[in-house]
Amino acid sequence: MNVFGVDIGGSGIKGAPVDLERGDLTEPRHKVLTPQPATPDGVAGCVVEVVRNFGWTGPVGVTFPGVVTGSTIRTAANVDKGWIGVDAGRMLGERLGGLPVTVLNDADAAGIAEMTFGAGRGRKGTVILLTLGTGIGSAVFVDGKLLPNTELGHLELKGHDAEKRASSKAREDEGLSWEHWATRRLQKYLAHVEMLFSPELFIIGGGVSRKADRFLPLIEGIRAEIVPAELQNNAGIVGAAMAAKERVAGG
């Protein structure tokens, strides 16, 4: 079964049909820039553009960078605050002409994909996926079961939201070297998360995972194993499609 996945990020919105047997895209993804400000209307227009680029007419899974309960948005750290309280599933479904739409947290989607098809496959105990991008998303699994909407990027680090100091965007915006970012920012953040949750495995996702060799070998003092996401920046798309399939299967 193929299902369409869309990943809404702070800088880009991308999507493609997904082969759920293989956990991979069936066609190269289509990406558009996230509108600024990232209002519900503006983002919805981009989601429609991405889906219609493929002529898709079936179920659609959509990730969102914030807390999602049911299909209602509860927080919006890196997009417009006008999202808060919006039933995104219903709104996007209407904009897509009545297609069934499933919405979930972006890092949770990436985590679901990595635990099924990627670096977390078959792993027990506590596994934490962290997506390092515009912000920091998190997905926490215990023996393969997801604890949704953890939002560990908003833990306090040096008096700030951790994502303001340790995200990929923070490295780029401040012009930090890979070494400085890895050893003084990311390492301290991982140590803080490890102190709270004692995971067996950290999976590092987001676009920066493509350059894992530039920073992961520099990190020291973390007891947990640290590995890059295998699905890299496609994990959110795959996880969104998986969630849409599960909803359709469950009626």
Token pair listed for 5: 């996945």
Report whether pLDDT(155) > 90.
Answer: yes
CA dihedral 51, 231, 139, 208 (to 10 degrees): -100
Q: Are 90 and 84 in contact (CB under 8 A)?
A: no
pLDDT band at 195 (very low <50, low <70, confident <90, very high): very high
Rg (alpha carbons) of the chain, rounded to whole number:
17
Q: Rounded to whole angstroms, how far apart are CA atoms 245 and 243?
A: 5
pLDDT band at 233 (very low <50, low <70, confident <90, very high): confident
| Chain mean position to CA 125 | 21
The more confidently predicted of residues 11 and 68 is 68
Report whether pLDDT(228) > 90.
Answer: yes
pLDDT of the residue at 65:
95
Q: Rounded to whole angstroms, how far apart are CA atoms 118 and 137?
A: 17
Report whether pLDDT(56) > 90.
Answer: yes
Return the closest-CA partner of residue 152 out of 171, 130, 132, 127. Answer: 130
Which whole number is the average pLDDT over 13-28? 97
pLDDT of the residue at 47:
98
Which whole number is the average pLDDT over 145-166? 95
Q: What is the pTM of this model?
A: 0.96
Q: Rounded to whole angstroms, how far apart are CA atoms 65 and 189?
A: 20
Q: Rounded to whole angstroms, how far apart are CA atoms 74 and 128?
A: 22
The percentage of the chain sitting over the pLDDT mark of 70, rounded to a whole number, equals: 100
pLDDT of the residue at 251:
58
pLDDT of the residue at 248:
85
Return the closest-CA partner of residue 168 out of 28, 9, 13, 32. Answer: 9
The H or E element spanning position 190 is helix 187-197
Residue 219: count of CB within 10 angstroms of its CB: 17
Residue 66, amino acid: G
DSSP conformation letters of 68-114: EETTEE---SSS-GGGTT-BHHHHHHHHTTS--EEEEEHHHHHHHHH
Q: Are 240 and 62 in contact (CB under 8 A)?
A: yes
Strands 126-132 and 201-205: parallel
pLDDT of the residue at 77:
87
Mean confidence (pLDDT) of the chain:
96
Interval 80-119: pLDDT, tens: 999 999 999 999 999 999 999 999 999 999 999 999 999 9
Token pair listed for 25: 């895209």
Which whole number is the average pLDDT over 135-160? 96
pLDDT of the residue at 250:
79
pLDDT band at 1 (very low <50, low <70, confident <90, very high): confident
Return the closest-CA partner of residue 243 out of 76, 100, 125, 87. Answer: 100
pLDDT band at 79 (very low <50, low <70, confident <90, very high): very high
Overall size of the chain counted in residues: 251
